[in-house]
Amino acid sequence: MKTIVMVLSCVILSLGIIGCGGKDDEGKQYRWTKPHGVLEGCNGVMSNSQQCQKNSNNQQYMIQIDRN
């Protein structure tokens, strides 16, 4: 349960930061893709995540949302 709350918090925070944009974003319209799951490697910072520790295939399931 904690993991789900953390993932959702990170997604919402990321969307908030990206959504704010900058001065060069004025007048531009963006479309967001639907959230979809992707498998990511357990490299770098994420190597210590609980999901990476439990998986023997060295991958974790992440949620990705792209901006077009």
Please state the domain count of the chain: 1
pLDDT tens digits, 17-63: 776 655 566 677 778 888 888 888 887 777 777 877 877 777 778 88
What is the residue range of 59's domain?
2-64
Please tell me the pTM assigned to this model: 0.41
* β partners of residue 63: 37
CA–CA distance, 59 with 51 (Å, rounded to integer):
8
In angstroms, the Cα distances linking 50 to 9, 18, 46 are 17, 26, 9
